[in-house]
Amino acid sequence: MEKILNKLYEEKEIVEELIKIDNDVMNTDYNFNSYYEVMESVLNDPFGRVFINKDTVFVTEGDIYVTLTLLKRMIVGANVVIFINQGFVGMNKWLISKYKEITNSDMVILDTDINYNKYIDKGYKVVPIGEDAIINQVLEDFYG
- The pTM (predicted TM-score) of the whole model is 0.88
d(CA 73, CA 32): 23
Q: What is the pLDDT at residue 47? A: 83
Q: What is the pLDDT at residue 46? A: 84
Note down pLDDT in tens along the chain; length 144 residues. Answer: 789 989 999 999 999 999 999 999 999 999 999 999 999 988 888 888 889 999 999 998 898 888 998 999 888 999 999 999 878 999 999 999 999 999 999 999 999 998 999 999 999 999 888 655 566 677 777 776
Residue pair 58/116 in contact (Cβ under 8 Å)? The answer is no
| Number of structural domains found in the chain | 1
- Structural domain including 34 reads 2-143
Q: What is the pLDDT at residue 10? A: 96
Q: What is the pLDDT at residue 144? A: 60
